[in-house]
Each structure stands twice: as structure tokens, then as C-alpha cells.
Structure 1
């Protein structure tokens, strides 16, 4: 389940967003499954409910979660979801910046490729 690194420079809500997405990729959370309420999640992670609410709103705007009034918040089914080309383009720009930073720190192409392979392995993807 999601963990928050209190020493990270990444905001807590961003860590929660990434953690929930990672749990979905690992099959810990499945489409249609109810996620803890804002208050429940805040209690579990020892966080302010406003922070959890912000993360859930981001996930809803990205169509990862859906809230059903009076029933709760659920992992959204991703069937026939069109690719979000705008978000993909933003992600590509972020990746470009990461590569620039890595090259500035003299990280080799081989190391960058190894990082990608390791990330794919950690998420259960192929080694290619």
C-alpha cells in the first residue's frame, strides 16, 4: 500500500498520487475497487485530510479515480479510455528535463537505460 516519505522534497499529495497509481499498476488496487475515504486515508497515513483530498481531486481529474456521491471513491475502469496526448506530451517534456539533468551530472546513456529497465522491472514490465 501507499507510503509517504516525510523526508522527501516531493509534496505529500504528489507522493500519494504516485503511490495510488503504482498500487494500480501492481494490482493492489483494481478497477471498481473502493479506495479508503479521505478521512480513512488521512488516518492511515497520518496526513491532513486536505492533503488527501487534494490528491484524490488530482486523480479524479486524471480519470484514475471516480467518486460516486454517497457511495465512495473508486478506481476507475480504464476500458476504452483514449490516450491523453496532452499529458503524454507534458510527460515527454519532463523526461527530457530529467535526461538533461542526468547528462549534466555525467550519467552515461547506459546508466539511463539501466534505470529505465529497472523501473520497468519494478513495475512488472518487460526487460526490453
Structure 2
């Protein structure tokens, strides 16, 4: 049981560091703003994505949040990472699109061990 919790928290933290830590920069960093314009996304989408990534991170980190909300957070992150992969694949080259798959892999591990931890409660 302790091993499962360690794997869960390690995967969750790595996912948040690799895929969500940049969310606050979506609001003010010119490089991120230009990146969204380069991909063809409007400004409101960049702000919406940043807000929802921050909310999703809080939901996953706080243990008192019910599992049902955590499930939706996992779904939202999966959609965001898969969509980022597709957008970068279409607009940029394939090697540039690999980065969103890294947090997606951590997300999958986190999700699997989230359910393993729920089963042992």
C-alpha cells in the first residue's frame, strides 16, 4: 500500500511539473502567448486553458476533494495533453509534438495508482 501511494504521488507531481507548471505563464509570458497564436488558438482559449489547468492541479493535490471531481480533472488533463499533441503535430513537425506525451504518460500512471489507492481504502 505504501508503494502504491509513493508511485501515485511521484507520478502526479511529475505530471503537474511537466504539464501544468507553465499554466500561470499562459497569462503574461509573451513566448507562450505567441505560441498559442502560432498554433492558431484565440486568446480566450489560452486564458481558459490556464485557469482550468490551475484548478485541475488543485483538485488533484488536495486529498479532501471527492474522487468524482478528481476523475473529471484526469479527463480534462488527458484531453488537454492529447489535444496539444495533435495541435503541435499538425502545425509543427512530429518531433515538436512529443512533449505533451510526457505529462500524459505520468497522468496515466497517476490515474492507475489513484484507483489502486482507492481500492485499498
**Normalising to structure 2: TM-score of the pair?**
0.30
- Specify which structure has the higher proportion of strand: 1
Q: TM-score, normalised by structure 1?
A: 0.29
Structure with higher helix content: 2
* Higher RCO (CA-CA < 8 Å; seq separation 6+): 2
Structure with the greater alpha carbon radius of gyration = 1
